[in-house]
Amino acid sequence: MSPLSEQLLERVEHHISAIYHENPLGADLEGLAQALIESIGASPEGAGAFQHINHWSQRDAILITYGDSLQNDNEKPLVTLRHFLDDHTAGLLSGVHILPFYPWSSDDGFAIIDYSSVNDALGDWNDIGAIASSYDLMADLVINHCSSRSIWFENFLRSTSPGKDYFFTVNPEQDLSAVVRPRTTPLLREVMTAQGPQHVWCTFGHDQVDLDFRNPEVLKQFVSIIHQYLKAGVKIFRLDAIAFLWKVPGGSCLNLEETHEIVRLLRTLLEHTAPDTLLITETNIPNRENLSYFGNANEAHCIYNFSLPPLLVNSLVTGDCTYLKQWMMSMPPAQNGTTYFNFIASHDGIGLRPAEGLLSNTELDTLIDTMQAFGGHVSYRTLDDGGRKPYEINISLFDALRGTTRGEDELGVERFICAHAIMLALEGIPGIYIHSLLGTRNDYERADNTGSYRAINRHQWNYDNLVSLLGDATSNHARVFAAIKALLAIRQRQAAFHPNATQFTLHLGASLFGFWRQSVDRRQSIFCINNVTPREHSVALSDINLISTQEWSDLISGDHYTPDDSEVVISPYQSVWISNAPDYEA
């Protein structure tokens, strides 16, 4: 064995020893390390050089969508999605996150029956490959649980392999009151197996049964799945619900050290297999806990910026950016090799746990009341005392921003575009939910038909009807679509919008949310100033320290500023990106 091969084996063994330090199943740790390396096809060369490299730029933006959000007669939805990307977003989106496209039994894809197949209703692996050939493909690795209809769980019930020891079971007499829950359903489900009754652990619901990573065979299965997805063209892996992965009954069973070590292990294996592949952790938890998944630039490449949606929506409906500004000042700049994944809408809802400690209870109550007035619903989670607490708000972003705490108004489109201008200018990679790109409204019928509050923001468009609406310049869908595409086009050309470029929060009062971005080589500065109120405001140029000897212009409107100008007047919900070097791409 070469010295480099020995180093790789030692590194993987180190991760495994930390994960299985108690080794309850008597695993052969050295043999397991070798098996994982062989399963994924890892190579000993070159990984160290990639750990602190940024595999992204200001040209990156990712569309988030279900595989069947767009539907066309006599055509598989994945083919329709490819047509939409090519025909309507060409050159503006670097990647696409197709939400679980595997056979599933519930939770709109997140209860997976078979990890190795594509849901036939969507298309096949060739359709996935066609998209991956032109776009960076993000896929979900639903690693915490799988469907109760999977062959693994059926084998668990029969006490046969593979699956016999794959699921987390517990004595129901144990004290599980400290377990952090994202749902109100009972944590345990009693099932009858060939060995008698067992109580399986179900974090999210009784059809989604938690896997037991104390069994190294489960880890081996998922490394093999990663290898298959790499061969299919997946470039970005979204680790779904990763924070709940490792369990030790008696505690919170959230963010345990073994979970972090598994993320480190997966990153090591990927660095030695496909070094430009990214790991993104999906951890809908309080902000400080979320930040921990960066590790020391050795865990996730990107973390979902979960606190951004509730704080930004709160700012725009209250007309006060104080809480958003306070949070932003507390956020550490991401090290090279890591960055934030920014989003303001998703297939789920507006998470409220990430706002804990950032918004007061009064602010949260007002936000919830406002969203309900705009047609939204509230989902709850169970507390350790048996009570319930709001977990997320279910509403389309367009409807969430159709008014303020005072009620609905005529500035919804402007408010909506302002939200995206803020998100697109922030440090990090932007992720844009397809229904935000299209300005989709609440789908009450789908929510009623499915019995799921989350379905309110999971509309399925008839493709021909959608294209017709996008061609009508007077429709809100067309206005939103054109505005976001224009912002994306501007963003791509600015070095100061690199995901790791410098970011500094400006202090312009509660009505103007401002921040400064500077390119890595310091040649381009952009002052991003956003009016979060329905009233006109002005900002003195002296307050943002524009250098008077340079020429400055707004990248969005094209307006120019001279040393004779004393202030900038900003209309309700207007955003300005004032730069000294427009279209500087470094």
* Other CB atoms within 10 Å distance of the CB of residue 363: 18
Instruction: Give me the torsion for CA of 114, 116, 122, 126, rounded to 10°.
Output: -170
Whether 64 contacts 434, CB under 8 Å = yes
Report in angstroms the alpha-carbon separations of 216 from 30, 227, 371, 585: 12, 17, 45, 47
Residue ranges per structural domain of the chain: 1-56+64-82+95-284+300-304, 502-579
Token pair belonging to 85: 């990307």
Give the CA count within 13 Å in the CB-facing half-sphere of 95: 27
CATH of domain 502-579: 2.60.40.1180
Fold match, 1-56+64-82+95-284+300-304 / 502-579:
no
Q: Which of 240, 320, 348, 443 is catalytic?
A: 240
Q: What is the 3-state secondary structure (H, E, C) of 258-319?
A: HHHHHHHHHHHHHHCCCCCCEEEECCCCCHHHHHHHHCCCCCCCEEECCCHHHHHHHHHHHC
Q: How many residues does the chain have?
A: 586
The 8-class DSSP code of residue 104 comes to: B
240 classed as catalytic: yes
In this prediction, residue 24 carries a pLDDT of: 53
Q: Could you tell me the maximum CA-CA distance found in the chain, to the nearest angstrom?
A: 84
Question: Which residue matches tokens 């052969």?
Answer: 28
Helix (H, G, I), strand (E, B) or coil at 330: helix
> What residues in the chain have per-residue pLDDT under 50?
none
User: What's the pLDDT tens digit per position in 279-329?
Assistant: 999 999 999 999 999 999 999 999 999 999 999 999 999 999 999 999 999
Closest among 231, 230, 213, 210 to 221, alpha carbons compared? 213
User: Quick check: bond before 563 cis, omega within 30?
Assistant: no
Nearest-5° Cα angle at 510, 343 to 368: 55
Task: Report the topology of domain 1-56+64-82+95-284+300-304.
Answer: TIM Barrel (3.20.20)
CB-based burial of residue 450 (10 Å sphere; 0-12 exposed, 13-18 middle, 19+ buried)?
middle
Q: Is the pTM of this model over 0.95?
A: yes
What pLDDT is attached to residue 480? Answer: 98
Question: What are the tokens at 569?
Answer: 């007047």
Confidence at residue 566, expressed as pLDDT on a 0 to 100 scale = 81
Tokens describing residue 286: 């309080």
Q: Cα–Cα distance between 487 and 555 in angstroms, integer?
A: 9
pLDDT attached to residue 49: 52
Model confidence pLDDT, tens digit, residues 213-223 = 999 999 999 99
| Exposed / middle / buried, residue 562 (Cβ in 10 Å: 0-12, 13-18, 19+) | exposed
